[in-house]
Amino acid sequence: MGADVTLKIATVAPKGSAYHRVLQDMGEKWKAAEGPGARFIVYTDSAQGPEAETVRRMRVGQLQASMLSVVGLSEIDDSVSALQKIPLMFRSWDEVDHVREQMRPDLEQRLRAKGFVVLFWGEGGFVQFFSKAPYTMPEQYKAVMSAKSWDALSPAGRAALTRAAAEAGETLRAQRGTRDDEIIKAMEGRGLKVLAMTPEVERAWRDLAQASWPKVRGSMVPAEMFDRVERLLAEYHGGGK
């Protein structure tokens, strides 16, 4: 069956980016295991539309997979929003890793129940703010693969894709800090000025973020998942925050 299998995967990431390269590498490893004639096509630069559209295309079989952010994943199941849509809940990558790995089995089960198989988890980096003026304080800033396609793969193809996807996720996670640093350095070379985060500025942002949490809980993020993230972080820090 390998001779007739084609996997088409979409991403909003640019052609030639780190995200594109790991998908290409994953595809080459899968094709080697799936057999002659297997095809792996990557559509970059939102060529298949925004993430919500790629989810729709997976549901109707036009795409077999997509590299999604929480925006796209939330189109499938809003429980995933707990990993991104709580402002300043996470302070470090270690916290992100701990919470994600604890919640991962449940999140993957929820997505599988909706007809999607998670191949790997990666990160795109923490949010960075850019402005034409040197703003620092918050008041200055007012303004996955379908299960049907998965089941159609040969056992060897599924095993190879699982291994390659795990490696792709590890690669992206390993690069996340240096990738952000490299991008910022490149922008500094073009005149970007990076402003230091003082304790006063950090406190102002955290106060603003935490004031929004009651509105986020139960609306943007399911209350059960919001509470679970808070609990996992408290456990991670030994009961403190």
Tell me whether residue 199 is in a domain. no
Tell me whether residue 227 is in a domain. no
**Bridge partner residues of 43 (DSSP):** 10
Tell me whether residue 24 is in a domain. yes
Tell me whether residue 172 is in a domain. yes
Question: Could you give the CA distance from residue 116 to residue 76 in angstroms, rounded to a whole number?
Answer: 8
Tell me whether residue 162 is in a domain. yes
Q: What is the pTM of this model?
A: 0.73
**Structure confidence at residue 197 (pLDDT):** 83
**Structure confidence at residue 178 (pLDDT):** 72
Question: What residues make up the domain containing 47?
Answer: 1-76+114-122+144-183
**Structure confidence at residue 239 (pLDDT):** 58
**Structure confidence at residue 144 (pLDDT):** 65
**Structure confidence at residue 139 (pLDDT):** 64
Domains in the chain, number: 1
pLDDT digits (tens, 9 = 90+) for 107-125: 999 999 999 999 999 877 7
Tell me whether residue 30 is in a domain. yes
**Which spans in the chain are helix H?**
18-34, 51-59, 70-76, 93-113, 147-152, 155-188, 199-216, 223-236
pLDDT digits (tens, 9 = 90+) for 42-76: 999 999 999 999 999 999 999 999 999 888 999 99
Q: Say how many Å lie between the first and final Cα of the chain, rounded.
A: 53
Both tokens of 151, joined, read 């089941």
Tell me whether residue 231 is in a domain. no
Please list the ranges in the chain whose pLDDT falls under 70: 1-3, 130, 135, 138-144, 177, 179, 239-241
The type of residue at 134 is: P
**Structure confidence at residue 2 (pLDDT):** 41
Question: Could you give the CA distance from residue 181 to residue 199 in angstroms, rounded to a whole number?
Answer: 22
**Structure confidence at residue 146 (pLDDT):** 81
Tell me whether residue 168 is in a domain. yes
CATH number at residue 71: 3.40.190.170
**Structure confidence at residue 71 (pLDDT):** 87
* Dihedral over Cα of 212, 218, 220, 221: its sign: positive
- To which residue do tokens 């992100």 refer? 96
**Structure confidence at residue 183 (pLDDT):** 74
Q: Checking DSSP bridges between strand 6-11 and strand 65-67, what pairing results, if any?
A: parallel
